[in-house]
Amino acid sequence: MRLTVVNVAFPFAPVTRDPVGGAEQVLAHLDRALVAAGHQSIVIAAEGSDTAGRLVAMPSELEPSSELARLRMYDAVRNALGKLLREEAIDVVHLHGVDFHAYLPPDGPPVLVTLHLPLEWYPQRALNSARADTWLLPVSQAQADRAGAGLRFLPPIRNGVEMRARSDVKKRRFALMLGRICPEKGFHEALRAAKLADMPLLLAGVVFPWAEHELYFETEILTQLDARRRWIGPVTGVRKHRLLAAASCVLVPSLANETSSLVAMEGLAAGTPVIAYNRGALPEIVEHGVTGYIVRDAVEMADAMRAIDRISPEGCRQAARKRFSLERSMAAYLQLYANLSCSARSAAGSHADSDRRGSGPAEARVVRSVHAPSRDHSGGIRASAAG
C-alpha cells in the first residue's frame, strides 16, 4: 500500500541531510525512508531545507521568541497543511515541533506526534488534545514513564543512527561536545569539567540567531575558551564522523531531562565512549562502566574523563550496532504509519456501512485504536491495527 505522509517540522529550524537538532535529524531520516520505500513524502519545513520528498517551504523567521514572528509562522503552517488536506489524499500527518498544538488540524487523517522534547516543555492542553485520531509517541522508556495520569502514549520508538564503516582515524587525547549551543545543553558544564580534568576540549555546534542563545554563547562560552578549550563552529558529514572517531570521549552534560541523544548514539557508533549527566533517557543510552559513564556534575565528569581509557571503543561500537539501528527505527515508523492509515480506513468503512443501513450518528460513531507495537521472535517490530 502506497502511503502519502506529511511530516511537519519545527518551523523555525531547517531540515537538512545532517541537521543539528535531533527532531530535524529524525524527520530527515523519515523523509528519505519514505521515498526509498516507494511512498510519497511531503515535508513542511523552513526555507533552506533539503528534502528527498516534496518540500513545502515556510517563510524564514529567525527569531521565534518574537510573538509576532511565531504567530505569522503558525498561520503559514496551518494554511499550508490545510491546503494539502483539502487538495490531496493524505494518509498520515506527522508533527515534530514542540509547538505542534498551534497548527494541529481540527479534523482529517490520523495525526502522529513524536515527542522529541521533555514533556514539561509542552503545554498540558497540547498533550491532552480532544482531537480524535491523534497519537502521542515518546522516543524512550524514560520519557514514557514520566507521563502523567490520563496521557495516552503509544509504546516508544527509539531513535537510531547510521552505522558507518569503522574509521581509520586514530584516537587522540581530547574530549568532544557537539550540538545546539544553548543553556540547557550544558556547554558551560563541559568547559568546567575539561578544565578540572586538564583535558583538551572541542566544542562544535550551531548558535541559532536567537537572543537568549546568543547571549549565553557570548557570556558563558566565549569567555571561558582558552588555548586548549576551543569552539570550532558547526561540523557535519565526514568531518563530524572523523571528530567523533578521534575523540577520547563525547560529553553530554545536559541540564534537561533528555528524551534521547543522537549525539551520544553517534559517538558510540564511532567507537567513542560517552560521559553523560544522569538526566532523562541518557542512562538508557550509556551503560555505566561499559560504554561510558553516567555522572551527576562537572566534578564527577572530570573524574570520568581521567578514567575513560578503561572503556573499550570496540565495545561501544558493538553496543551501538545492537541497540541503535537506524533501519530498525525507520521500519518501526513505516509500520506505524501503515497501521494508523489502515485503522482510519477501516473506521471510515464501518461508518459508511452504518450510514447505508440507516443508522443514526450515535450508532455510527466508531472508536479507532492502534494496538501497541510488539516484538516478534527475531527482534523486529510489528504492530496490529483494529477499526
| pLDDT tens-digit readout, 74-101 | 999 999 999 999 999 999 999 999 999 9
Domain boundaries, the chain: 4-160+326-382, 175-323
DSSP string, 71-93: HHHHHHHHHHHHHHHHHS--SEE
| pLDDT tens-digit readout, 95-145 | 999 999 999 999 999 999 999 999 999 999 999 999 999 999 999 999 999
- The strand ranges marked E within 222-368 are 229-233, 249-252, 274-277, 292-295
pLDDT of amino acid 52: 97
Which residues, other chains included, contact 314 with Cβ-Cβ below 8 Å and sequence gap of 6+?
A: 271
pLDDT of amino acid 319: 98
How many Cα atoms are found within 13 Å in the side-chain-facing hemisphere of 66?
11
- Give the pLDDT band of residue 348 (cuts 50, 70, 90): confident
Task: State yes or no: pLDDT of 375 exceeds 50.
Answer: no
| pLDDT tens-digit readout, 18-64 | 888 899 999 999 999 999 999 999 999 999 999 999 999 998 765 66
Q: Are 383 and 336 in contact (CB under 8 A)?
A: yes
| pLDDT tens-digit readout, 267-283 | 999 999 999 999 999 99
pLDDT of amino acid 351: 55
pTM summary value: 0.88
> Rounded mean pLDDT of the chain?
89
Q: Look at residue 143 and give its three-state secondary structure.
A: helix
Same fold, 4-160+326-382 and 175-323: yes
How many Cα atoms are found within 13 Å in the side-chain-facing hemisphere of 326?
16
* Torsion over CA: 161, 122, 368, 74 (sign): negative
Question: Average pLDDT, stretch 305-334?
Answer: 97
pLDDT of amino acid 377: 31
- Give the pLDDT band of residue 65 (cuts 50, 70, 90): low
Q: Please give the share of the chain, as a percent, with pLDDT higher than 90.
A: 79
Strand partners, 288: 292
CB atoms within 10 A of CB 40: 17
Question: Which of the following CATH numbers is that of domain 4-160+326-382: 3.30.420.40, 1.10.10.10, 2.30.30.790, 3.40.50.2000?
Answer: 3.40.50.2000
pLDDT of amino acid 63: 61
Strand partners, 45: 57
Asked: is 175-323 a CATH 3.40.50.2000 domain? The reply is yes
Higher model confidence: residue 383 or residue 58?
Answer: 58
- Give the pLDDT band of residue 359 (cuts 50, 70, 90): very low
Rounded Cα distance between 201 and 175, Å, is 5
Specify the residue for cell string 460513531.
365
CA 284 to chain centre: 15
User: Which of 21-30, 149-158, 198-207, 377-386 shows the lowest per-residue confidence on average (mean pLDDT)?
Assistant: 377-386
The number of residues in the chain equals: 387
Task: State yes or no: pLDDT of 308 exceeds 60.
Answer: yes
pLDDT of amino acid 166: 77
pLDDT of amino acid 355: 53
Which residues, other chains included, contact 149 with Cβ-Cβ below 8 Å and sequence gap of 6+?
A: none
Which residues, other chains included, contact 367 with Cβ-Cβ below 8 Å and sequence gap of 6+?
A: none
| pLDDT tens-digit readout, 224-260 | 999 999 999 999 999 999 999 999 999 999 999 999 9
| pLDDT tens-digit readout, 290-304 | 999 999 999 999 999
pLDDT of amino acid 69: 85
Task: State yes or no: pLDDT of 16 exceeds 80.
Answer: yes
What are the counts of helices (DSSP H) followed by strands (DSSP E) for the chain? 13, 16
